């Protein structure tokens, strides 16, 4: 980018994308540590600081004791245990606040300097609205677990919260790509564009089911691979007389596996299609990254599933989430390049 202003805006947006990426990973840690319900109030401004003295900590702990997660799951917790889970939820919320500040201040500066085109200004307003919406969805999700019966947040609301974050990340990256990727290629392929966009769509749906898997603990319904409890297609899926929670969990896991196999097939096809990029410098050198990432992602997914009965599955689950998001962003980049006729 020769234009200094565009370069500054693009760097700002890429730093924002990195911050959102970290926020999603922090969300994964919050879920895996069971910390999401530790803060039972939503105070967008006053909640910035944690409890500042022993009395305030005890009051916060007493509020947590009112919900089912404490009474049924964590009744053995001491105040020190509570502080440990409080930390991750507090960090998750405050990182979100930091992202908001890191957006608003430069945005005001760029507007004041009249550095933004009308199109870019509108895109950034949409980005801001998506960020606010994500915060609201996050609280709705948390609130679903703050009662006397739920042991965790609702898995569907968790999945919606996760996908809203993914959409926010993808939209931000797309805007950044539009500013920073300018060179046009000598050839264009509609077939390549279509396979990129289809793969992108399937990966987003796959991530949604991954969030459902995590929120419902559906891995426990069939912690085996390549079969599912001895079957490749569990017969309980098609038994209309069985209406149990285990059937519901089997369906979530079955769909997650099926989408994984479809994703692998699509990325193999994509790797063949993008062989035409091999003569183009940077993009040519990264054309096999999706294939590497999907293979790594499959290994991590299988490892997570097979270790779900052991506590060490959490590190595999977090890596599985990490690689899945990286893969999505890479496919998004390829989708932008092919859709916008650029390399």
Give the model confidence (pLDDT) of 175-221 as tens digits.
Answer: 999 898 875 554 667 888 899 999 999 999 999 999 999 999 999 98
Of 288 and 324, the structure prediction assigns the larger pLDDT to: 324
Residue bearing tokens 């999401």: 36
Average pLDDT over residues 18-22: 97
Res 343 pLDDT > 70: no
Q: Centre a 10 Å sphere on the Cβ of residue 96 and count the other Cβ atoms it contains.
A: 20
Instruction: State both tokens at 5.
Output: 């202003």
pLDDT value at 272 more than 90? no
pLDDT tens track for 30-53: 999 989 899 988 887 667 888 889
Q: Give the domain ranges of the chain.
A: 1-180, 184-343
R_g over Cα of the chain: 22
**What number is the average pLDDT over the span 132-139?**
92
The pLDDT of residue 341 is above 70 = no
Nearest 5°: phi and psi at 231?
A: -130, 145
Mean pLDDT calculated for residue range 222-245:
79
Task: Tell me the C-alpha to C-alpha distance, in Å, between residue 245 and each of 28, 159, 254.
Answer: 24, 18, 14
Predicted pLDDT at 232 = 87
Cα 281 to Cα 159, 193, 274, distances in angstroms:
38, 20, 13
| Nearest-5° Cα angle at 340, 334 to 278 | 45
pLDDT at 284 over 90: no
pLDDT tens, residue by residue, 293-313: 999 999 999 999 999 998 888
Site of tokens 């509108």: 122
d(CA 157, CA 143): 10
71-130 pLDDT per residue, tens: 999 999 999 999 999 999 999 999 999 999 999 999 999 999 999 999 999 999 999 999
Contact 335, 197 (CB under 8 A): yes
Q: Across all residues in the chain, what is the average pLDDT?
A: 89
Percentage with pLDDT > 70 across the chain:
91
Percent of the chain having pLDDT more than 90? 68
- The rounded distance, in Å, linking the Cα atoms of 79 and 256 is 38
Measured CA to CA, the distance from residue 161 to residue 247 in angstroms comes to: 24
The predicted model scores a pTM of 0.90
Could you tell me which of 294, 302, 300, 298 has the C-alpha nearest to residue 224?
Answer: 302
Cis peptide upstream of residue 114 (ω within 30 degrees of 0): no
Q: What is the pLDDT of residue 322?
A: 96
pLDDT value, residue 49? 85
Q: How far apart are CA 246 and CA 291, in angstroms?
A: 33
pLDDT at 273 over 50: yes
């Amino acid at each position: 980018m020769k234009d200094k202003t565009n370069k500054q805006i693009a760097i700002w947006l890429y730093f924002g994308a990195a911050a959102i990426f970290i926020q999603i990973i922090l969300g994964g840690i919050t879920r895996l540590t069971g910390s999401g319900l530790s803060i039972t109030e939503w105070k967008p401004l006053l909640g910035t600081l944690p409890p500042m003295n022993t009395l305030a900590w005890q009051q916060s702990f007493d509020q947590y004791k009112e919900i089912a997660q404490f009474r049924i799951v964590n009744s053995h917790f001491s105040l020190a245990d509570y502080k440990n889970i409080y930390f991750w939820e507090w960090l998750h919320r405050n990182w979100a606040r930091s992202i908001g500040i890191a957006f608003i201040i430069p945005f005001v500066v760029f507007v004041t300097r009249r550095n933004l085109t009308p199109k870019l200004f509108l895109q950034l307003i949409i980005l801001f609205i998506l960020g606010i919406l994500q915060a609201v969805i996050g609280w709705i999700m948390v609130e679903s677990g703050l009662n006397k019966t739920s042991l965790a947040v609702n898995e569907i609301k968790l999945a919606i919260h996760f996908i809203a974050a993914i959409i926010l990340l993808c939209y931000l990256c797309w805007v950044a790509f539009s500013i920073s990727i300018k060179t046009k290629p000598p050839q264009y392929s509609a077939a390549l564009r279509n396979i990129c966009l289809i793969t992108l769509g399937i990966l987003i749906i796959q991530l949604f089911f991954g969030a459902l898997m995590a929120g419902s603990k559906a891995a426990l319904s069939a912690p085996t691979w390549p079969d599912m409890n001895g079957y490749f297609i569990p017969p309980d899926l098609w038994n209309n007389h069985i209406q149990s929670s285990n059937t519901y969990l089997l369906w979530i896991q079955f769909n997650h596996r099926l989408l994984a196999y479809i994703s692998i097939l699509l990325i193999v096809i994509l790797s063949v299609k993008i062989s035409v990029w091999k003569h183009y410098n940077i993009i040519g050198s990264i054309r096999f990254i999706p294939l590497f990432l999907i293979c790594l992602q499959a290994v991590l997914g299988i490892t997570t599933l097979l270790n779900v009965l052991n506590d060490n599955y959490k590190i595999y689950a977090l890596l599985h989430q990490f690689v899945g998001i990286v893969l999505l962003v890479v496919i998004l980049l390829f989708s932008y390049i092919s859709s916008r006729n650029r390399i």
